[in-house]
Chains A and B, each alone.
Chain A
Amino acid sequence: MKAKDFDTSYKPSWCPGCGNFGMQIAMKNALVELGLKPENVLIVYGIGCSGNGANFTKTYVWHSLHGRSLPTAVGAKLANKDLKVIVMAGDGDGYGEGMGHFIHALRGNADITYVTHNNKLYSLTTGQAAPTSDKGTKTKSTPDGLIEVSANPMALALSAGCSFVSRGFAGDADHLKELFKSAIKHEGFSLVDVFQPCVTFNKINTFKFYFDRLYKLEEKAGYKSTDIYQAMKEALVWGNKIPYGLFYKKQRDTYGSNLPQLQGKALVKRPMKVKDIKALAKEFA
């Protein structure tokens, strides 16, 4: 397989220079290097600029509703554990309408990968403030500056039991590809929140903004990604320096792995036949 085997005939509709391009090629290369076949991958897309990627990747695809991609992915994975299930959501999509699902999916630790295209704005709807926008951000919906402080996906994920917490950057495609590979290989819920500059609407969090500030946790002396306290400390860092890479990883039971009825064959690969319910019905006698 080559990356272009995951291309469709559909021409991407993203703006020239959009961080989504880098993310997409990193994901396709990750799938190739992991030896995954298109038919064994289900990508669930949210709604937003990231969601438009549904048309540009040749795998099985579910193009979901705004904010609702995670529960769909969990349902698909539980019913067919043989599929690699990846979610591509936006920050507005996933941390706005989808915030409740995010926290609960983390608790459950289903074996799926959650990639958020974090441009700190709602871009497809022309640049309103997102849950990830910083306090004071001026947009069409917040002309006097955003009143709320920004949501912190890393800290939220750590506190909600996420077993793989990471941050990538669309401007560092090689690193991102490796992060995607580790995330997909991880057994359990893996989060890759990706800084993905919006070249059209976000004039602050640009590629340069991140190049000037980002440092890799993998290169930080003494950093242990198995230590949740160190991870939480890094998750709270925001300012002149911003960390990225793998914050935290810890193996724990995945949702379904401890259900006796899900051992053996995937649920949907068992024969679909009439079930004799007589014994069950007799319990009502």
Chain B
Amino acid sequence: MKTKNNLSWKVCGEAGFGIKSAGMMFGKIFMRAGYEIFDYTEYPSLIRGGHNTFQLIVDTRPVNSVTKSIDILVALNQNTISENLDEVAPGGVLIFDKEKVKVSPAKLQNRKIKGLGLPLTTMAKEAGNPLMRNVVAIGASMDLVGQNLTIANRVVTQNFKRKGKKIVDQNIKALKLGYDFAKENFQGEAICHLPTIEKKDNILITANESLALGTLAAGLNFYVAYPMTPSSSILHYLASIAEKAGIVVKHAEDEIAVLNMALGAAHVGARAMVATSGGGFALMVETLGLAGMTETPIVMVDVQRGGPATGLPTWTEQGDLQFILKAAPGEVQRIVLAPGDAVEAYELGTQAHNLAETYQLPVIILSDKFIAEGNTTMPLPSVAKVKIKRGKLLTQAQLNKIKEYRRYKVTEDGISPRALPGMKKGLYIANSDEHDPYGFSEESSENRIAQADKRARKLESFAKNLPEPLVYGNPKAKNTVVIWGSSKGVVLDAYAHLEAKYKKKIKILQLQYIWPFPAKFVSKVLEASKNTLLIETNQAGQLGQLIAQETGIMIKNKLLKYDGRPFFREEITKALKKF
């Protein structure tokens, strides 16, 4: 038996076949068995039909990317053979429904793929419901990876508990039928060995959900959104726990209403957040300017997908960076954060409102579909380090001591004391027009300059406290890979699997706090770098453009991908080995 202790497993079929639910159950089984998981799903924007895929990586080390190659492919429809068979690695296994899927044995033999055809439809019917083909296939997969059904039975029970005992029993039977069939009929060795290892306190979560948890930990109490893939699962999650968490979750009529509603709540003192994708963010842009002008703290999330326009609604891209940096008419100060994975999404989620309230401006979190919808294992998050920082928000007692309150008082750090509606002696106009320190409309040049400079100083104040970019690999290496956002997972995973002779030649620079830009730090790293490679999922190399703008350094060597697919690990490994 091979000792390979990682697995790339993929299930494919039409929308409506239970592709995602099968994948999620498979992932939970191995998380419970002590493994690290990352999953990746491809699906067209429709409800029935089409071709959906769900890929899962199981590993003993933390994983945040997928490989192109598949060890076990589960084909629930014929399309899988034409679309995905080429992805199966030599020595891999095709599990297929032999009643629905035709594949020539010669073809499999040529590619050194072992076939396991099961009468999935008949078996699922025997278990009680023809829809359970997916569960039978999970059962068969368990045998192939040397894992018994103990944990699988538990996961299936938990998954279907609310549907009643009959459904649970049917699913347990489906697992067993698949498992037994594979045991009796599969010719050859299991392709990997994944026994239960150890119990960890892990959870299986997407960056959308971990971001929501992070903001909740830090006091989020007002969330407004309009559904837009791939941001919608933040709305779904927060709506599902709103009552329990004691927060307001509002599905508003459009993205313009979304941000204005959130600003209304933030203005009176709520910790408010909105999330959308690029198209929805575009609708929020005028209001983003209003947040800047009124100096209202707000957290905005852009979960990027392929653009422009409707673009590639269910695919991934980092195409909004340059848009986000400047979005809004006029000059609007903002802080831009880009989490690289679910753990960072949680951590930045716990910071975002503190930054928004401290500097009284919009904080934008840039994520993308790859991490926003990909489940990953992460340790149970802790609130031990989470703090609530509300900056210069006044109490009534502090306000009472101020002789003549000025909401937009010109200060050295640019940050002015903030009163909330309802407080005595704090009346002011939160004014969309340029305004004087009291908030009255005022267009004189002296006032305009004083207020514009004051707003700009807030960002300069933050820049003094800006966390440094993250550096991985050999800090003394002469070769530098520059990344941001979701490329982190695939680059670090590929790096981890490199041989030592490659590893020592490479360092990786990740920009997480993207704006204000850490120019000094980046300049220093890049000036010392002999070869620099920029890796991004967009066409123009937008982070490269930003680096050029802020440091004068042009990165010529770029690995860019913009077909909606994430980087697969093989592509990055190849690039890293070139150093």
Contact = CB atoms under 8 A, between A and B. Distances in A.
A63 B429 contact: yes
Contact of B218 (A61, A274, A285): A274
A164 to B, nearest CB: 20
B428 A280 contact: no
A72 B272 CA distance: 12
Given A79-B264, A100-B253, A278-B380, A267 B248 contact: yes
B137 interface: no
Nearest to B32: A285
A74 B421 contact: no
B263 A72 contact: yes
B424 interface: yes
B219 A274 contact: yes
Contacts of A277: 213, 216-217, 381, 383
A272 B270 CA distance: 9
Contact of A273 (B258, B260, B265, B388): B388
B222 A78 contact: yes
A242 to B, nearest CB: 31
A72 B263 CA distance: 6
Contact of B219 (A38, A80, A275): A275
B275 to A, nearest CB: 16
Interface string B236-260: 0000011111111010111011101
A63 B430 contact: yes
A256 B248 CA distance: 9
B175 interface: no
For A74, A75, A76, A78, the residue with the greatest tally of chain B CB atoms inside 10 Å of its CB is A75
A111 to B, nearest CB: 14
Interface stretch (A125-133, A172-180, A192-200, A258-266): A258-266
A64 B222 contact: no
B229 to A, nearest CB: 21
Contact of A78 (B203, B248, B294, B381): B248
Contact of A75 (B216, B224, B380, B426): B224
Contacts of B204: 284-285
Contacts of B386: 274
Contacts of B460: none
Interface in B268-326: 268-272, 286-287, 290, 294
A220 B32 CA distance: 74
Nearest to B259: A71
A268 B427 contact: no
Interface in A54-68: 54-55, 58-65, 68
A281 B380 contact: yes
Interface residues of B, number: 72
Contact of B270 (A44, A104, A268): A268
B260 A64 contact: yes
B222 A75 contact: yes
Contact of A61 (B254, B256, B269, B439): B439
Contact of B265 (A76, A82, A260, A270): A76
For A47, A52, A260, A284, the residue with the greatest tally of chain B CB atoms inside 10 Å of its CB is A284
Contacts of B243: 259-261
Contacts of B252: 71, 104
A284 B27 CA distance: 12
For B242, B261, B269, the residue with the greatest tally of chain A CB atoms inside 10 Å of its CB is B261
A40 B294 CA distance: 20
Interface string A151-180: 000000000000000000000000000000
B221 interface: yes
Contacts of B173: none
Nearest to A59: B427
Contacts of B271: 272
Contact of A63 (B242, B247, B270, B431): B431
A76 B267 contact: yes
A98 to B, nearest CB: 10
Contact of B431 (A54, A272, A280): A54
Contact of B248 (A70, A262, A273): A262
A283 B430 CA distance: 41
A186 interface: no
Contact of B202 (A68, A82, A275, A285): A285
Interface in A98-155: 100-101, 104
A284 B294 contact: no
For B258, B287, B428, the residue with the greatest tally of chain A CB atoms inside 10 Å of its CB is B287
B268 A42 contact: yes
Given A280-B216, A281-B381, A275 B245 contact: yes
Given A74-B261, A79-B248, A79-B270, A61 B430 contact: yes
B529 interface: no
A39 interface: yes
B189 to A, nearest CB: 33
Nearest to A54: B429
A251 interface: no
Given A60-B421, A100-B257, 19 more contacts: A39-B421, A61-B429, A62-B267, A65-B260, A68-B257, A68-B260, A72-B261, A75-B260, A75-B265, A76-B265, A76-B267, A78-B248, A256-B248, A261-B245, A262-B248, A268-B269, A276-B217, A277-B217, A280-B213
25 contacts: A39-B421, A39-B425, A63-B430, A64-B260, A65-B432, A68-B287, A68-B290, A71-B256, A75-B222, A75-B262, A76-B267, A79-B248, A101-B253, A259-B248, A261-B246, A268-B270, A270-B246, A274-B219, A275-B216, A276-B383, A277-B381, A278-B380, A281-B380, A284-B205, A285-B204
Interface of B: 31, 201-205, 209, 213, 216-219, 221-222, 224, 241-248, 250, 252-254, 256-258, 260-272, 286-287, 290, 294, 380-383, 386-388, 390, 420-433, 439-441
Interface of A: 8, 10, 38-40, 42, 44, 47, 52, 54-55, 58-65, 68, 70-80, 82-83, 100-101, 104, 256, 259-262, 267-268, 270, 272-278, 280-282, 284-285
Pairs A-B, 5 closest by C-beta atoms: A75-B264, A75-B261, A268-B269, A79-B265, A284-B203
